[in-house]
Amino acid sequence: MITVTLIGSGNVAHHLIHRILESDTLVLQQIYARNLEGIHADLDRSIVTDVIESLKPADLFIVAVSDNAIEEVTDKIQVPNQLVVHVSGNTPMDCIASKHRAGVLYMLQTFSKDQKTDFSSIPFCLEAESDTDLKLLKEFALHFSKHIYFINSIQRQIIHLAAVFVNNFSNHMFVIGEQICQEHQVPFEILKPLIMETALKVQHLSPLNAQTGPALRNDTKTIARHLELLKNTEQQTIYKLITHSIQENNV
Amino acid sequence: MITVTLIGSGNVAHHLIHRILESDTLVLQQIYARNLEGIHADLDRSIVTDVIESLKPADLFIVAVSDNAIEEVTDKIQVPNQLVVHVSGNTPMDCIASKHRAGVLYMLQTFSKDQKTDFSSIPFCLEAESDTDLKLLKEFALHFSKHIYFINSIQRQIIHLAAVFVNNFSNHMFVIGEQICQEHQVPFEILKPLIMETALKVQHLSPLNAQTGPALRNDTKTIARHLELLKNTEQQTIYKLITHSIQENNV
């Protein structure tokens, strides 16, 4: 039995709350939100509060607020000697007010409020000041997923940086693909199976070995033709730079 | 009943041959390969030839050879007035020797010889000089997939260009993600579910609406920290350029 208090009313808090309520061995002790309007209407109001000073002790406090607010919010938790963790990929553990036993519970996934989250495939990156607390965090996380990693604050920053490349930047390649299609009245949906295959391929193959295409083959004729077809200067610059980078990696 | 002759012994020819042999309404008439060693041993040798001049008439000739060889190979097919199609994304239809009825059957997917191909999700991009031939090509393609598109040579070049972005270039973002992880002893597998989610998200959402991250939020503090963490100059340049491009797209 682990008693948990949730702080925050955003997407992460929302999904954690609902998953905790489904569990027999996790107890949702309290929810704090600055603005109670963000809290789902069907929750038991007796455990919901907007007075942070009124929070009682719990085995685990999860602070799911914006990165900038972590220090201030954790400082306002009055009850002493609690395990208080944040859920941010990009914030060091020591941003948690030093009066607490600090920890981090970082789930490497994007959450949308409208869509039910399948926690079972999400990697949980855990950090804590003490082994005892790390053990409790692991016990908690195992209710959600078996993909548990012990990751320190520096490694977590690295994961966050790598995630920008594999998620935000690859998505931007999809954006450019869609723009090129739109300019020439080609339905973007033609490319969707290829996008799926690209992601599937690196699930069992190193991306370096999965690479194909004109850059890798140094097919200069095709590369020149592609640069001619691109009318947008920034898209041309991106094409040249990434082509060069692919070739550098395969010398 | 459609009689088909296959020219080539590469991955595309290999997969098409096996799928045609499974069908009751497609007849594999002949296979030509310059080098018979590339032809699978369990094929009926009576239909395999390395003498291109010996090919008999068929409803459809599929030329699955390298882009550079299309013109020369199709010129060597002696039997007159046949429907001859190539399978290249990047070659205009008129590269087929002009004595034939030309067409294109472009499957937008990468094929590996070792792995069985699920044709049913592959988009087939068809082009032909006449409506009658286009109809026959469609009838043929429907044996493989219901994702059939009529795409002219210019549009096909555009699709090929867009595919470089969504496939080769996004895969290169995975390569950089893996390199960043390796440099800091973080297992790359942590990022694999996120890669899958990134691809899944754009199956039902426009990539422009799927974008998240520090670039979109103009989170200058995180961007500066990420640039500090990147030790590789080219990775820094890519980070800056794509961050800028994401922001340009969302002004």
Q: Note the ipTM here.
A: 0.88
**Residues recorded for chain B:** 251
**Average pLDDT for runs of 10 along chain A of length 251:** 95 91 95 84 86 96 94 95 94 95 93 76 96 98 96 95 97 98 95 95 94 92 94 97 94 75
Question: How close A2 gets to chain B, by Cα (Å)?
Answer: 26
So what's the pLDDT on residue B37? 78
Question: How close A210 gets to chain B, by Cα (Å)?
Answer: 8
Closest CB to B163: pick one of A191, A225, A245: A191
Question: How close A203 gets to chain B, by Cα (Å)?
Answer: 6
**Cβ contact, residue pair A207, B166, below 8 Å:** no
**In the predicted model, what is the mean pLDDT of residues B72-92?**
94
Q: In percent, how much of chain B has pLDDT > 70? A: 98
In this predicted model, what pLDDT tens digit does every residue of B24-57 receive, in sequence order? 999 999 999 988 877 777 788 889 999 999 999 9
pTM of the model: 0.88
**Cβ contact, residue pair B202, A187, below 8 Å:** no
Q: In percent, how much of chain B has pLDDT > 90? A: 83
So what's the pLDDT on residue A113? 67
List chain B residues with CB under 8 Å of A151.
Answer: 186, 190
Question: Across-strand partners of B148?
Answer: B124
Mean pLDDT of chain A, nearest integer: 93
**In the predicted model, what is the mean pLDDT of residues B89-117?**
88
Burial A169-197 (b: 16+ CB within 10 A, else e): bbbbbbbbbbbbbeeeebebebbbbbbbb
Closest C-alpha among B141, B191, B198, B110 to residue B2: B141
**Cβ contact, residue pair A212, B175, below 8 Å:** no
Which residues fall within 8 angstroms of residue B55, CB to CB, at 6 or more apart?
B5, B30, B32, B49, B61, B77, B78, B79
